[in-house]
Amino acid sequence: MSNLILLCRRRVWLTAALLVVMVASAACQAVSREAALPGGQSAQGEPTTLVLASHDSFAIGEEVLAAFEAEHGVKVQVLTLGDAGAALNKIILSKDAPLADLFFGVDNTFLSRALAADIFEPYSSPLLEQIPDDLELDPQHRLLPVDYGFVNLNADSEWFAAAGIPLPQTLEDLTAPAYKGLFVTPNPATSSPGLAFLLATIDHFGEDGYLDFWQALKANDVLITDGWSEAYFEHFTVGSGGAGDRPLVLSYSTSPPADVVYATDGRTEPASVNLFLPGSAFRQVEFVGVLKGAAHPELAQRFVDFMLDAPFQSDIPLQMFVYPVNPNATLPELFTAFAQTPPEPVLFDPAAIEANREHWVQAWAEVMGQ
């Protein structure tokens, strides 16, 4: 079994286990989560547990996390809640009995929805001085930027070469017979990358044309999955280690370095390549915020500072395979060699997303039979 598949299984939400964790977490918060004393200890003298809720793709190096725990005398519990959209839903539904102290994983496609739910406390981290202004999308600092990346198509270049099929050059090519049954993408109703791609097609084809494109994709046997992890690690021929049968996937322009990091065949170059089809790439920014009703709000703020500081930021590229927001972070050579920035990514106003998201997604669902 390849390390890449093991990575997938580590990140994918196992329903039964998650239910146990959620019930236990809620019970602890409602009954016995102690207030933290200075130094991170509870009233009983035990290390305080700080709970970070996130989507399934969150990752951090053990040594990096251990440094925060040692400095503050706490234990950090990472509670994964599914893909970004599903995770945010759980956090909103549990707002009266928060499952965690802070939440990471809201992106700019769900930003307005998260803010409208009124679940985050404002916090102006001093580290924001180091973050570019164009990534700070919430003036009240309820949600602070942590990383950014570019949602776009990845292709298995070796598969296409062996099949004698040219790589697609446009979004319209994806509807051609040559690419029938080759593309997998996550559902925009439950996945933030999926929603990002839907928004990119709306930007490219317009409101009058995007549904025609998706209808053509459906006729060409596009596969829709609940989340990005399922699409990439189970169905994409590269991400699945050859077990999948889809050589085209919606992923990120920073995914190719992962092919090298988790390869089991000694490869030094990625098996997947980026496809910067005109109008297909979308800039995604991910945020973290302290939840209202957090048991340990001050410790949660310290963890936000930690996430924006150079040690954590430098760990992001080869853990979550996206760009850090702090320019002082160090980018690994492998990442800079194979991660790419698309020439003209789509930048969508979060307010426009909030005003139209439900209508656009519902119209998409009716066309796709979801």
pLDDT digits (tens, 9 = 90+) for 128-151: 999 999 999 999 999 999 999 999
Distance CA 297, CA 288 (A): 13
For 42-69, what is each residue's pLDDT tens digit? 555 678 999 999 999 899 999 999 999 9
Per-residue pLDDT reduced to its tens digit, 273-283: 999 999 999 99
Tell whether 182 and 210 lie within a shared domain.
yes
Number of helices and strands in the chain (H, E):
14, 11
* Same domain membership, residue 347 and residue 323: no
Q: Are strands 183-186 and 223-225 parallel, antiparallel or unpaired?
A: parallel
Q: Are 141 and 98 within one domain?
A: yes
Place of tokens 């990120």: 252
Instruction: At 275, give phi and psi (nearest 5°).
Output: -115, 105
Q: Are residues 75 and 8 in the same domain?
A: yes
Per DSSP, 248 falls in state: E
The letter for the amino acid at 333 is E
Q: 281 φ, ψ to 5°?
A: -95, 140
Say which residue, 104 or 41, is predicted with more confidence: 104
Cα(102)–Cα(91) distance, rounded to whole angstroms? Answer: 10
Would you state the structure tokens that stand for residue 318, as one six-digit string?
A: 């080869």
Cβ within 8 Å of residue 107, ≥6 positions away: 84, 192, 196, 284, 285, 286, 287
SS3 365: helix
Q: Are residues 353 and 331 in the same domain?
A: no
Do 121 and 13 share a structural domain? Answer: yes
Do the bridges between strand 144-156 and strand 272-275 make them parallel or antiparallel, or are there none, so unpaired? antiparallel
Give the pLDDT mean for 296-300: 97
**pLDDT tens digit sequence for 246-297:** 999 999 999 999 888 887 778 888 989 999 999 999 999 999 999 999 999 9
Same domain, 348 and 216: yes
**The model's pTM:** 0.81
Question: Both 259 and 175 in a single domain?
Answer: yes
78-97: average pLDDT? 93
Are residues 232 and 302 located together in one domain of the fold? no
Of 341, 325, 330, 318, the closest CA to residue 288 belongs to 325
**Within this chain, do residues 21 and 118 fall inside the same structural domain, yes or no?**
yes
Are 133 and 163 contained in the same domain? no
Domain extent at residue 172? 150-283+338-368
* Ramachandran angles phi, psi of 155, nearest 5°: -130, 145
* Widest Cα–Cα separation across the chain: 67
- Domain CATH code at residue 103: 3.40.190.10
Query: Considering its fold, how many domains does the chain have in total?
Result: 2
Mark whether 197 and 330 lie in a shared domain.
no
What DSSP element (H or E) covers 304? Answer: helix 297-308
